[in-house]
Amino acid sequence: MSSSIERTPAAAGTDRRTFLQRVALTGVALGPGGAFLASCATGGDGDDAEDEATEAPTGDVSEENPLGIPTDQPIEVYIFDGGFGDEYATELHQPIFHERWPDIEIDHHAAVDIGAELQARFVAGDPPDFINNSGDGQMDPGQLISDGLLADLTPLFDAPSWDDPNVTVRDTLLPGTIESGTRDGKPYVLNYAFTVFGLWFNQTLMDENGWPVPTTWQEMMDVCADIAATGIAPWVYQGVTAPRYMNWPLLSMATKLAGPEILVAIDNLEPGAWGHEAIKESAAAIRSLRENNYFLPGVEGMEFRDAQGLWARGEAVFCPSGSWLENEEADAIAENPTFQLAMMPEPLLSEDSVMPLETVRATAGEPYVVPADAKNPLGGMEYMRAMLSMEGARGFTERVTSLTSVAGASEGVQIEAPGLASAQAALQAAGDNVINWFYPSWYGTMENPGIDQATGALLRAELTVDQWVEQCEAVATEIREDDSIVKQTREG
């Protein structure tokens, strides 16, 4: 196994002085959360960059040390101090690591704004060995990859797992985990947390009113009529801030109806993909919620937390979101002691749907990376290998109320949070019927503001379904025809 750390081709031939001059003249580009973002690779000329990439210290490869990490070199770790905090690192993952590698010092840092903390170090070619690149200050991973600033994680995924030398790391992960962090056929990002998407509701409220959990769209419309008759809004969505949340049930229902091939066509920017009949039927169903006045009044002008807060306080029943919602609205939910959060998969548009009701969208998230210019990149990957141990993954779920991308890690874990328990049950019921799409992470502007604006207009009934399709197709065409954008592809 090679212990050298591969840089992307974009890293060769760049000039740090040119980059710094550009920064001085124009300012530094901003990442998706406003973080400073290097717009070209560091490392001087191509020869120097290659030398830096291959001179990282290594140790002897053995059964005990499959990555060949240097056992006398420290590891510098940066953890985003946000919703998960950083105690899962200091009190769980790092002790697991130290038990096996007691002589390796971990230099731990917690940061609220990752980009602000690390931008200058990337420019100087002196980044840490391991970064939890998350939060509002997240550095744009696509830009980091195209600039050759992240290490290829193939050695990690091909290595034996922490717990079983006969099973590789990649074989311990849930489907789609590696793909979610892959660009141009190579994995650069470890997405560790695992999010389940669906429709969220107060089970107690449903039970008290005798409202059944709908399994078909017709049942959904019937339940919505009963809910509306009580003066409660049947649905809420994330308002002017993020109408794209309604794309999630739209695409999920369409995929159940026609199969995952429609998502492959969308991700691959195929002409006409947004005009598939299943997508149009799903868009018409979503639009019918507005036509029947089943949205919370005024939601289209609300900020997303305001809209979710009203839902959590009982002014609406169904809310589309991911399994982070339980933590995000914990304070509002706590105001109602009878609130029992539950999640349901999106209903079927037809009983003849290709995929079963239990199908859910789920994806790995919360990104962790190893910089290509790190002093000890193999050490950073070994730290990841410890995180992906069964003990590390189970402990993470117990501590921060989040599933992980390690298959089977939540089995037997006593999950007290009702929402997460419901999401876990939904994921288990789905089995292999787990879907996802990648265009939002591959092409940021395609989702926001592109498709986002079109769906917002659809939800306000300002666009017909055909007009919505036209706008979505126009957004996809713009991305497809822009030669400056590196295109990604996925297999069917």
Domains 9-195+363-430 and 197-359+436-481 equal at CATH topology level: yes
Annotation: CATH topology of 9-195+363-430: D-Maltodextrin-Binding Protein; domain 2 (3.40.190)
How much of the chain, in percent, has pLDDT values that exceed 90? 79
Neighbour tally for 440: CB within 10 Å: 16
Look at residues 51, 52, 27 and name the one whose alpha carbon lies nearest to residue 39: 27
Please name which of 82, 104, 85, 84 lies closest in space to residue 94, comparing C-alpha atoms. Answer: 104
* Residue found under tokens 């197709």: 473
Beta strands in 303-393 (DSSP E): 316-322, 341-344, 360-369
Alpha-carbon gap, residue 368 to 93, rounded angstroms = 13
- Residue 202: is its pLDDT beyond 90? yes
Q: What's the DSSP call for residue 400?
A: H
Residue with tokens 């990002």: 189
- Is the model's pLDDT at 9 over the cut of 80? no
3-state secondary structure of 491: coil
What token pair was written down for 406? 């390690």
Question: Left, alpha or beta for 43 (phi > 0: left; psi -120 to 50: alpha)?
Answer: left
Secondary element (H or E) of residue 357:
none
Nearest Cα to Cα of residue 363 among 305, 295, 304, 438: 438
Give strand ranges (E) for 53-189: 75-80, 106-111, 130-132, 182-183, 186-187
Instruction: At 427, list the tokens.
Output: 């994921």
- Residues making up the chain, counted from first to last: 492
Rounded Cα distance between 451 and 194, Å, is 24
pLDDT over 70 (residue 377): yes
Give the residue from 249, 173, 176, 75 showing the smallest Cα distance to 409: 173
Mean pLDDT taken over the chain: 89
Q: How confident is the model over 301-309, as a mean pLDDT?
A: 95
The CATH architecture to which 197-359+436-481 belongs is 3-Layer(aba) Sandwich (3.40)
pLDDT digits (tens, 9 = 90+) for 222-253: 999 999 999 999 999 999 999 999 999 999 99
Lowest mean pLDDT among 41-45, 202-206, 354-358, 427-431: 41-45
Share of the chain above pLDDT 70, in %: 89
Cα dihedral sign, 108-111-115-121: negative
Q: How far is CA 373 from the centre of its chain?
A: 25
Query: What pairs with residue 79 in β-bridges?
Result: 110
Q: What is the pLDDT of residues 147-160, one digit of tens each?
A: 999 999 999 999 99
pLDDT tier for residue 423 given thresholds of 50, 70 and 90: very high
Task: Output the six-digit token pair for 180.
Answer: 């979610």
Kindly report, residue by residue over 80-114, the tens digit of the pLDDT. 998 899 999 999 999 999 999 999 999 999 999 99
* Residue 217, SS3 per DSSP: helix
Q: Which two tokens stand for residue 350?
A: 């037809």
| Residue-range domain boundaries for the chain | 9-195+363-430, 197-359+436-481
The predicted-structure confidence for 258-299, as pLDDT tens digits, reads as follows 999 999 999 999 999 999 999 999 999 999 999 999 999 999
**pLDDT tens sequence across 32-69:** 333 333 333 333 333 443 444 446 888 999 999 999 99
Give first-to-last CA distance, the chain, whole Å.
31
Model pTM score: 0.82
Q: What angle do CA 489, 372, 167 make, to 5 degrees?
A: 70
CB 446 within 8 A of CB 479: yes
CB neighbour list of residue 427: distance below 8 Å, 6 or more residues apart: 194, 196, 360, 362, 403, 434
Helix (H, G, I), strand (E, B) or coil at 46: helix
Residue 300 has what pLDDT? 97
Across residues 423-452, what is the average pLDDT? 92
Q: State whether residue 132 is helix, strand or coil.
A: strand
pLDDT band at residue 175 using 50, 70 and 90 as cut-offs: confident
* pLDDT value, residue 416: 87
CA 485 to chain centre: 21
The mean-pLDDT minimum among 215-229, 356-370, 400-414 falls in 400-414
Q: So what's the pLDDT on residue 426?
A: 96
**Residue 259 half-sphere exposure, CB side, CA atoms within 13 Å?**
4
Of 36-40, 119-123, 128-132, 281-285, give the lowest mean pLDDT range: 36-40
The token pair that represents 475 in the structure block:
């957004």
Cα 320 to Cα 24, 101, 296: the distances in Å are 43, 44, 13
15-26 tens-digit pLDDT? 333 333 333 323
